[in-house]
Amino acid sequence: RKEVEQDPGPFNVPEGATVAFNCTYSNSASQSFFWYRQDCRKEPKLLMSVYSSGNEDGRFTAQLNRASQYISLLIRDSKLSDSATYLCVVNGAGGSNYKLTFGKGTLLTVNP
């Protein structure tokens, strides 16, 4: 099983659509969870951390289920500028809290 596995995508949605990304992780010792976005040929940028109680930041909602080792990201009312690759990221590899493990990412294209 891959350490972090994401929907392979790509996702093509119209503006205004709601889109959901799923992610599973294998390391039950992971303590921190994140969604990053990566624009084409750019660096990953932190979108939001994911907390056990779930958290929301504007149009973005993240959920974590520790029992199932599952993370999700929901984007509501998607904008053209949301087009990017979304990376599911967890820490805890090798017992460390600094070693981030990235999924391969899910490409989202929002169309006008």
Partner 1 sequence: NAGVMQNPRHLVRRRGQEARLRCSPMKGHSHVYWYRQLPEEGLKFMVYLQKENIIDESGMPKERFSAEFPKEGPSILRIQQVVRGDSAAYFCASSISQQETQYFGPGTRLLVL
The answer to whether the CB of 48 falls within 8 A of the CB of 60 is: yes
* Amino acid of residue 62: A
In sequence order, the 6+-apart residues with CB closer than 8 A to the CB of 27 are: 3, 90, 92, 93, 101
Please identify which residue in 17, 19, 100, 107 interacts with partner 1, judged by CB under 8 A: 100
Kindly identify the residues of this chain, within the stretch 9-68, that bind partner 1 according to CB under 8 A: 41-46, 49
Rule CB under 8 A: choose which of 76, 102, 107, 109 binds partner 1: 102
In the complex, which residues of this chain contact partner 1 (CB under 8 A)? 4, 41-46, 49, 87, 93-94, 96-105
